[in-house]
Amino acid sequence: GAGVSQSPSNKVTEKGKDVELRCDPISGHTALYWYRQSLGQGLEFLIYFQGNSAPDKSGLPSDRFSAERTGGSVSTLTIQRTQQEDSAVYLCASSPSSYTGGNTIYFGEGSWLTVV
Amino acid sequence: TQLLEQSPQFLSIQEGENLTVYCNSSSVFSSLQWYRQEPGEGPVLLVTVVTGGEVKKLKRLTFQFGDARKDSSLHITAAQPGDTGLYLCAGARRETSYDKVIFGPGTSLSVIP
């Protein structure tokens, strides 16, 4: 597809279980972002990738959260030992450049995570 | 602490009315973006403003970047029901090797037919 693809679109998991969320960015986009959005709220920055490296992990809320990106393409966000406060929509975005001035950041539709 | 503030948080108006949404910060940004998000979808970029004092128009939407590049406004003329959605401003802060994009909390707009 032409856009940013995320899976699963919806995930219900039990408290304490691990979850993996996948992002397939637009082909050729080197910059990749993960954000978290609680119901009706703005987006909370989690992590930024440039190629395969993550120069900014400052938004990850705890050491239960980790992310990787392989081959400069697909990224996986992993949440270990999920808690109810992790329930949110996890949004992935990609851009052809690290700088926003003349570039568009494209978002996927998100993965809605519910921890019960 | 919220780096970007938006006001109002909620807005419900009649079709045909005009409205302005504000985005404010104490930080200077290298660029500022406005997005619209509809339920169940990711945000979609409307505009990027880069230069202090810059004004951009997109049909009935007018965007302005403050002279000091700390604030912005979005004005909608003759609102339509299709304008309903969550409007998010996002400031880009120049880090060493990339622009860190920080989002405001959003303004939820409802346009009643």
Q: How far apart are CA B30 and CA A79, in angstroms?
A: 32
Q: Which residues of A13-49 are buried (b: 16+ CB within 10 A; e: fewer)?
A: beeeeebebebbbbeebbbbbbbbbeeeebbbbbbbb
Q: Of the spans A68-72, A102-106, B78-82, B94-98, which averages the highest pLDDT?
A: B78-82
- Residue B2's pLDDT band, with cuts at 50, 70 and 90, is low
- How far is Cα B33 from Cα B62, in angstroms, rounded to an integer? 13
Q: Does A99 touch chain B (CB under 8 A)?
A: yes
Residue B1 in this model has a pLDDT that exceeds 70: no
Return the minimum-mean-pLDDT range out of A9-18, A43-52, A85-94, B104-113. Answer: A43-52
Residue B1 near chain A (CB below 8 Å): no
SS (H, E, C) A29-61: CCEEEEEEECCCCCEEEEEEEECCEEEECCCCC
- Contact call for residues A82 and A15 (beta carbons, < 8 A): yes
Q: Do A40 and B108 touch (CB under 8 A)?
A: yes
**Angle B77-A101-B31 from CA coordinates, rounded to 5°:** 60
Q: What's the distance, CA B55 to chain centroid?
A: 13
Q: What integer is the mean pLDDT of A55-72?
A: 92
CA-nearest residue to A39 within chain B is B39
CB contact under 8 A, A100 and B48: yes
User: Nearest-CA residue of chain A relative to B5?
Assistant: A42
pLDDT at A101 over 80: no
- pLDDT of residue A1 exceeding 80: no
Query: Looking at beta carbons, which residues of chain B come within 8 Å of A101?
Result: 30-31, 48, 50, 92, 99
| β pairing state of A75-79 and A106-107 | unpaired
